[in-house]
Amino acid sequence: MRADFAKKRILFTLLITAVLMLVLINSAAWLVKIAYPIYHEEIIFKYAGEYGVDPYLIAAIIRVESKFYHRAQSSKGARGLMQISPKTGQWAARELNIKGYDAQKLFDPDTNIRIGCWYLSVLEKEFNYNFRTVIAAYNGGSGNVNKWLQNPEYSKDGTNLDHIPFPETREYVDKVLRDYRVYVRVYR
């Protein structure tokens, strides 16, 4: 009788432990979502779909660039959620036929995310969908990345970046990739 009681007690303890583990795992996901939100999710998914880019990459870029603050502005003048420069914004507005565009519209989440998704799709095509290289180009500029790819000190094969010479861009790529992995794991 004591053996049966001991077995039942062990099974009950295992069951309670399993339930508590599930609660903790679900709580952890909830906590991670607080640290890694996706604000403007509808806009992100709309334009990510329209331009064929990964919405979780867009979320990661926004988190790193502006922490989802739509009025963010860098010391170099980049604006909004995805930190679009006025020059890139003007080019994109022409290409996308955005009527009445001015640089202030880069603070509008819809316009900013639309331009950012379009620009990312342009970079993906330019760099043959090489994820790390595309992210480096988004931050460091496609001209710089093209130079790095031609330099054997930075790229052994002319396609992949083995070393990113700008510390800011190198750190940026690492942060975006880290955040991207979290977004995929938590939201997909």
Same domain, 171 and 113: yes
Same domain, 42 and 79: yes
The predicted-structure confidence for 153-163, as pLDDT tens digits, reads as follows 999 999 999 99
The predicted-structure confidence for 61-70, as pLDDT tens digits, reads as follows 999 999 999 9
**Residue 70 to residues 67, 79, 81, 124, Cα–Cα distance (Å):** 9, 8, 5, 24
Domain that residue 1 falls in: 1-35
Task: State the CB neighbour count (10 A cutoff) for residue 146.
Answer: 15
Same domain, 25 and 65: no
Same domain, 109 and 125: yes
pLDDT band per the 50, 70, 90 thresholds, residue 31: confident
- Residue 65 annotated to the active site: yes
Catalytic residue among 65, 95, 124, 153: 65
Q: How many structural domains does the chain have?
A: 2
Quote the pTM value: 0.85
CATH for 73: 1.10.530.10
Same domain, 30 and 119: no
Decide: residue 56, CB within 10 A, 0-12 exposed, 13-18 middle, 19+ buried. buried
The predicted-structure confidence for 103-123, as pLDDT tens digits, reads as follows 999 999 999 999 999 999 999
